[in-house]
Structure 1
Amino acid sequence: MLAHAREHVPFYAGRIPIGDDPYRVLATLAPLDRETVRRAGHRLHARNGSTQGWRATHTSGTTGEPLTVVFNHPPQELEFKLLTRHADRLGLPQGAGIVHLTLHAPGPSQAMAAPWGDGRTLTKWNLARVWQCPDPEFRGAVRWLDGKVLTGKPTVLDLLAARADAAPAGVIVSGETLDARARAGIGAGLHCPVSSLYTLAEVGIAGSECPDGGYHLEPESVHGEIVDDELVLTPLANRAMPLLRYRTGDRARWLPADCGCLHPGPRLELTSTRSPRHLLTTSGQPVELSRFLETLGALPVTRLALSAEGPGRVRMDYSADAPLTPVNRERAARPLRAALGLDTEVRFVQHKGPHWPASDGQPTNPPQPEVGLDLLADDVAAWLAAWFTGRELRPEAVALTGSVLTPSARTRFSLVDVTVISPAAPDEWADVVRALRRDLTALRVHVVDAPSGLAACRLSAEARVVLGRLPEIAWPTQAALAAEGRAWCRQAADTLWDRLTGSPIPPADTLRTAYVAQHLSVTACRYLHLASGGRETGADAVLAAELDPEEGATVFEAVAVAREHRPPPPEPDAGRDYLRQAMRLVGMVAAVL
């Protein structure tokens, strides 16, 4: 690692001496603190090899300004190995897989099989979307966790234990200090043993909990020192961004190694950990930021940071394409006032664009093509009505349809469908639509004079009019819907065939592939239902009406995966299975029509 950093990482140029004893050489380097890492930015990135597969990790910011660290593939694989090894030591069955749970809107759910090919799987399930479902639906969805080993932050597992009725095999928490109250609450709520790992976002898994107390450092992952009572770590696997002698901010002391658990790493006790940042009540008492995870995790933002500006004064910085609406501001402020005092002032600061924060002027997080979780129909309707006020080009009516009206049916790829009724030619609306989408990129705007076919059915059955009045819409004949459906099926079949015969679908794209499959499957069922005399257009209603639960099991699975009401499967061909089933369904509908 020293030779690699000396040769390929600009920050270390001229800083690392040459010597026979690597530990003595390492000891000559000044420890890195967070501010040094932040200032160094991309100069800490290796300049050799491909950056393909690098993953950027952002610290939570609960102990200060967020920090961004990039990892190449080997440390990511090592984390999986260390996690499964710790589960083995605890005697936890892993046949059903290990599931990492998060509750933060931007991160997509995904799954992978163990690279070493022993059949183990690691799944990341972002609960932020299924968390918005009513309790009965939520509890039913999380029964998928039964028999699995769960990992995640104590705050996430604590929230799950309070709401879910799941029966996992065990829980391994990391990322935050596990206090006695949280350990007891998680264990009692989920009826399983609870253990912990010592992890840092900047490092990965640094240590595993010892049954006799403390943590064993993982020799494959880190080299540890205690300098002036502070734990200093050197990650050993991450060549993308070597952090030599990184100051963790955690206080520690070495413990005797004769614990009897046979772990090969040195054992230590954390005497104090980095204190999470607090907000202050109106009387000046501290309250941890983690108290607000559940509420703030559902806001339609890509990044968010809270900071105290004084007793009872909170600043909320967020990144989003459009300002938070009054409804969402009130949703964010309500739990803050409840915890900090009714007179608490909350100041909102919007950062436009996807690249906040940045390091050395370089973007640290790529844009996410997603709609915010709480993009409410009320908010969109009010925004559209205000936007069109005073405009020279006025529509006869503006209406919403689709998933914005049904939050439980949304995916991170869903768009907000807006229909503009106007006798003016669509090209006259081009500049207006561009301006609309500049303010809210998730819009999909249709400009029509006289709606027909499926569009007419959806406007009649489900539309919410936000401006003007819809003209009288004649319900299309079954023959007309069948003819339109046959033409649509040909286009859908071509789309599915192109995806099926194209490049292999990487596991990271299974979520998007599930969305494509469910979107086309739902539309096919709409045509089948309407051409047969049905009057429903909502996604769940037409699926229930036209698909047998057993015969359509793969389609229903694709729907659940696309909505992240369950995570994607780890099998590499899962995405293709969804596309194949969607193609069969489209072919069947075409034949019936």
Structure 2
Amino acid sequence: MRAGDAVGGDLALPRALPPAHPAARRARPDRVDPLRVGGGPRARGGLGAGRGHHVGVDPVHRRRGAHVPRGQPGARPDERGARAVLGRGRARPERAQDPAAEGGPGGHRLPADVTDPARLADLLRHARDHVPHYRRLLADVEITDTGALDVLRGLPTLTRAEVRAAGARLWAAEGDTSTWRLSRTSGTTGLPLEVLVDQAAQDAERAALHRRITALLPGDLGPDLAVFHLTLHAGAATRSLAFPGQAPARLVKWNLTRAWRLPDDRFLDCLREVDGQVVTGMPWVLSALADRIGGSGRVRAALVVMSGETVHAEVSARVGEVFGCPVTAMYVSAEVGIAGAQCEAAHVYHVSEDVVLELLDETATPADEGEVVLTSLTNRAMPLLRYAVGDRGAWVGGSCSCGLAGRRFRLDGSRVTRVAARAGADRRATTLDLAKLFTQLDLPGVDVVQDDAGTVVVRHDAATPVPPRTAAVIAAAVRGMLGPATRVTVRPRDPTSPVTARPQDEARAADRDLRLGQGPPSLEPVEVAEWARSWLVGEPGVRAAALTGSFLSPDTFTRHSDVDLTVVVDQDGPGWPRLAREMHRHLTGLRVNVDTAAAVADSPLLRARLLSECHPVLGDLGEAGVTWPSVPALRAVAGPWLQEARAVLWTQLTAAEGVRDPVRASWLSSRHVLNALRYHCLVRGVRTTVAEDVLAVAEEDGVPGLREVREVMEVAAEHRPPLPVEWDGGEGALAVGLRVIGWVRANLPR
């Protein structure tokens, strides 16, 4: 369930196995893993960077040894077994007494009904026999059901760096690779990890989520129950997956970044998709959504499940009030899976039956409190035995009345990281908390300070504009960490501050850098226009420049859209490609078209769009020689273009491998449909190319399928989630496009 440690979500984009893996040719990259992270914030992958539900970091120093209790099978001094290779040849000192053996309150054996010793023994034998990394570590070690936990403890812990260094040596050489998925964790605190996940692990995570849902929503869940993982991470892809005959029947990861640009009333209309459904997400995302929704009763979910960060009681209460439903939490590691479920009787967690959870002290010995180390009992494709997630926790004693099995533990907020802001004695936001937030929002160059009055000041580079709605998300997220009464200010950093002072040439370069690595979803046209003007002012030969395209409208802007900048110049020259390349390097998604007015005249539709829907950047297009195309010129190119558009959609619809991405198919269809309707208007003398205008004209003229066209446009813009690929992989969107293009072509004036 690897959505930057968020349960139920970031459904992974289909990813093939690395070519080096012997199973790469047999793997099935076309299927989507519904519960594991697929692109995290830098890639942009999910938040959490391999952390658990409570925020964590890689400790600066990790002890590689492990405690080996007396009597461990295979731990004879004259053998090279697990014990002999601990800490690269250095075994940890043994304690005189193992608390687990005593079974007292300090013991750390999980109850047999939670961690099945036979499952653990079977996993260890599989790792020894089929995973190169563990062959030497477990060589000649006797593995029995009763001694499995001792053998596990004899292994050194794994850190992120060690997993990355081991690479393919952690991959199993045995298993049904056609069902394996490649999940990419986020890289918030370093380079991302790629983890192979087998079908059993995927099924176990869905089952764990189902158990949590049925425990809190008793009775018949119904055939249409869906889980919606909501994210505001610009790099995440919206996907859906169906599970016929199962509950939940549909899993949806929905990126709301583009819908967030809509006016409040339309944004609320989008969110009503989750009415009566299960919603999952990170606390800061749900806190921001609660602020945007405003009051209770506007959106009514059946259940909210939070994970990925510390969950505070007041955040849960606020989210529950706004969404009108119960709120719970799960503890999730991005590499290992669901490790615990929130105890409804207290703010602690019950250990999942699918993991072994250990708490280790500074000497890597089991303790009442310490570092959290996890072992998944389900994933055999890439077993991670004793993986140190970077969190700290403590066992919680006493009986529990909530009904969940599994030993209880709490998470400790202390971290090997700096605290950036505080609120009271028990509320804090660490540098990692904030780094994860800003990474997911794709906001580089941001820091946080807290003034003497307690106001949290989020400072960003002056050359990196932060639109008001993005600032509202930041403020809501920080309040979610520190409490609803926290005052938050978002403002540019003082360029003269010694903290951010840079050499003059570096500062000049930064002035031209418009959110390097940031796609345009968070930017407004006026900001891009001002930035582009700073590049073009003073450039010899530039007569005019304008922005065009779907970027100008929230209704038509998609993750596949470009920011189109047309620059009209006096004459062609060798310097223009260099300028376009440099501008594109500083703004992801920018497409710079540099042409003379005569060259622009060769494209009648481009001329019409420049004059109808442009956002001026520099100069005047009319004075630069760009004029409206004549109707005969438009008719001359409309027919061939429509024929080519039909061929493009038909090729996609009939491809042997089928359609794999409904959102992209919807974008491709809506893009061609809108251009077809633009020709429909222009050849009739209607001088407009604005999407809403041409749709209105088409409706008056009786063009068929317009309701479906609008739905396809909403899916393309991620204003609504697509149908699961098993139900409709995008074929419906392509068929709608073919129908409309066929009608326009048949009714084109001769």
**TM-score bin (small chain):** 0.7 to 0.9
1:266 aligns to 2:406 (yes or no): yes
Residue 414 of structure 1 is matched in structure 2 by: 561
Cα separation, 2, equivalents of 1:199 and 1:297: 19
What displacement does 1:85 show?
Answer: 2.4
Counterpart code for 2:385: L
Instruction: Give the alignment partner of residue 103 of structure 1, picking from 217, 222, 232.
Output: 232
Distance 2:170 2:501 in 1: 33
1:395 alignment partner, one of 511, 522, 542:
542
Match among 612, 615, 632 for residue 464 of structure 1: 615
What residue identity is the alignment partner of 1:561?
Answer: V
TM-score (norm 2): 0.65
8 Å Cα contact 2:188/2:436 also seen in 1: no
Distance, in Å, in 1 between the alignment partners of 2:245 and 2:413 is 34
Q: What is the aligned counterpart of 2:662 among 510, 533, 548?
A: 510
Query: How has the CA–CA distance of structure 1 residues 586 and 290 changed in structure 2, closer, same or farther, with 3 Å as cutoff?
Result: farther
Structure 1 residue 56 corresponds to structure 2 residue 184 = yes
| 1:122 shift after superposition | 0.3
In the TM superposition, what is the alpha-carbon distance from 1:8 to its structure 2 partner?
A: 5.1
1-side partners of 2:445 and 2:192: how far apart?
12
2:698 paired residue among 531, 536, 546:
546
Structure 1 position 235, deviation (Å): 1.1
Corresponding position: 1:190 with 2:316: no
Map 1:34-433 → 2, pairs under 5 A: 36-37=162-163, 40=165, 42=167, 45-46=170-171, 48=173, 53-58=181-186, 61=189, 68-74=193-199, 75-91=201-217, 93=221, 95-114=224-243, 120-164=249-293, 165-213=298-346, 214-219=348-353, 221-226=354-359, 227-228=366-367, 229-230=369-370, 231-248=372-389, 249-253=391-395, 255=397, 259=401, 261=403, 263=404, 265-270=405-410, 272-273=412-413, 278-280=419-421, 287=429, 296=438, 301=442, 325-328=463-466, 339=488, 347=500, 371-389=519-537, 391=539, 394-422=541-569, 424=571, 429-430=576-577, 432-433=579-580
Partner of 1:353 in structure 2?
none
Pairwise CA RMSD of aligned residues? Answer: 4.1
Change (3 A) 1:483 1:58: same
Comparing both structures, which one devotes a greater share of its residues to strand? 1
Are the structure 2 counterparts of residues 70 and 138 from structure 1 closer, same or farther at C-alpha, using a change threshold of 3 Å? same
Partner SS state of residue 280, structure 2: strand
User: Is the CA contact 1:281–1:339 (under 8 Å) kept in the aligned structure 2?
Assistant: no
In the alignment, the residues of structure 2 paired with residue 291 and residue 119 of structure 1 have an alpha-carbon distance, to the nearest angstrom, of: 31
Report the number of matched residues. Answer: 559
Q: Name the counterpart of 1:32.
A: 158
Q: Quick one: structure 1 residues 267 and 305, their matched pair in 2 at CA, closer, same or farther if it must change by over 3 Å?
A: farther
Q: How far did residue 222 of structure 1 move? A: 1.0
Contact 2:556 2:717 survives alignment (8 Å): yes
1:504 match: secondary structure: coil
* Counterpart in the other structure of 2:733: 578
Q: Per the alignment, in what secondary structure is the counterpart of residue 681 of structure 2?
A: helix
Larger radius of gyration: 2
1:556 aligned to 698, 710, 719, which one? 710
TM-score (norm 1): 0.81
1:6–1:294 distance in 2 versus 1, CA, 3 Å: closer
Distance 1:67 1:436, change over 3 A: closer
**Structure with greater helix percent:** 1
User: How far apart are 1:505 and its partner, in Å?
Assistant: 4.1
| SS at structure 2 position matched to 1:541 | helix
Is 1:2 the counterpart of 2:124? The answer is yes
326 and 443 in structure 1: CA distance in 2 versus 1, 3 angstrom threshold:
closer
> How big is the shift at 1:216?
3.2
2:99 corresponding residue in structure 1: none
User: Which residue pairs with 2:106 in the alignment?
Assistant: none
Residue 98 to residue 325, structure 1, CA distance change in 2 (3 Å):
same
The verdict on how the C-alpha distance between 1:370 and 1:307 changes in structure 2, with shifts beyond 3 A counting, is: closer
Q: Output one character per residue of 1:367-388: Cα deviation in whole Å (capped at 9) or x when no partner.
A: x998321233233333333333
Give the SS at the match of 2:634. Answer: helix
Distance 1:546 1:197 in 2: 49
SS of match in other structure, 1:111: strand
Amino acid at match of 1:378: V
Per-residue CA deviation, residues 182-210 of structure 1 (Å, 9 max, x unaligned), is 12111111111112222122322112234
Report sequence identity in percent. 32
CA deviation profile, 1:504-537 (whole Å, cap 9, x unmatched) = 3465x22211111111111111111222332321
